[in-house]
């Protein structure tokens, strides 16, 4: 995508144990580490205000994948967004978020550190189906958005473009790997959001609006 990347690493895997135990341990580590994630955002805020990041051509975006999106939920619920700039990020990309779909708009509507939020989902996401099957956390946002939807986000449904396929990891991560290389429209969508641009969701050649005005199908 021709962008510069800062990767945030957090303890998200046990060396042993079943998948459900591993997942719940990783989720707990997000709760314990939310304040540390805030420290990263404060550093990024200082960087954005520095001379090295001045100019309209520079963009700062935040992409959270899968369980990483739980950091946002915890930061809102723990009031850790207070003091952060409203224009910190151009785009926040919530990629296949492993957060509970039901009631998500209650905390997502309180997000105030970005210009735009894009949420990607795939109703045939194999990994997120496992979260619902093996935990009591219910349907995950990256599998099927629960209503009501947030007024602050655009929801992009990749089911028609990705769906179910092997290896199953491709149903959960479709911004890297073979899916982005195979489907030009997938590549173009992520190219736009990762470079800080607004996506024209009203382009009929790429998107079809579903019954809810904030939910769009990516046309294969």
Q: What is the pLDDT along the chain (220 residues), one digit of tens a residue?
A: 999 999 998 887 766 666 677 888 899 999 999 999 999 999 999 998 887 776 667 899 999 999 999 999 999 999 999 999 999 999 999 999 999 999 999 999 999 999 999 999 999 999 999 999 988 999 999 999 988 999 999 999 999 999 999 899 999 999 987 888 889 999 999 999 999 999 999 999 999 998 767 899 999 9
- Count how many Cα atoms sit within 13 Å of the Cα of residue 160 in the half-sphere of its side chain: 12
At residue 39, the pLDDT reads 96
At residue 177, the pLDDT reads 79
d(CA 70, CA 11): 14
DSSP conformational letter for 57: T
At residue 193, the pLDDT reads 98
Question: What's CA 41's distance to the chain center, in Å?
Answer: 16
At residue 57, the pLDDT reads 74
How far apart, in Å, do the first and last CA atoms of the chain sit? 20
């Amino acid at each position: 995508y021709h962008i510069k990347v800062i990767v945030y690493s957090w303890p998200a895997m046990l060396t042993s144990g079943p998948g459900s135990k591993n997942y719940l341990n990783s989720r707990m580590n997000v709760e314990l580490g939310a304040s540390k994630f805030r420290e990263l955002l404060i550093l990024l805020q200082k960087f954005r205000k520095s001379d090295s990041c001045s100019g309209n051509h520079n963009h700062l975006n935040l992409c959270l994948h899968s369980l990483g999106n739980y950091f946002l939920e915890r930061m809102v619920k723990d009031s850790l967004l207070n003091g952060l700039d409203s224009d910190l990020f151009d785009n926040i990309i919530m990629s296949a978020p492993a957060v509970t779909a039901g009631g998500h708009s209650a905390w997502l509507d309180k997000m105030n550190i970005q210009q735009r939020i894009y949420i990607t989902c795939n109703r045939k996401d194999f990994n997120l189906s496992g979260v619902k099957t093996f935990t009591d956390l219910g349907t995950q946002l990256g599998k099927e958005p629960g209503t009501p939807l947030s007024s602050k986000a655009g929801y992009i449904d990749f089911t028609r473009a990705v769906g179910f396929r092997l290896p199953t990891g491709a149903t959960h991560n479709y911004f890297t790997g073979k899916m982005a290389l195979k489907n030009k429209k997938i590549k173009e969508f992520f190219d736009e959001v990762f470079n800080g641009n607004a996506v024209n969701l009203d382009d009929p050649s790429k998107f079809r609006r579903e019954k809810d005005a904030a939910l769009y199908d990516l046309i294969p």
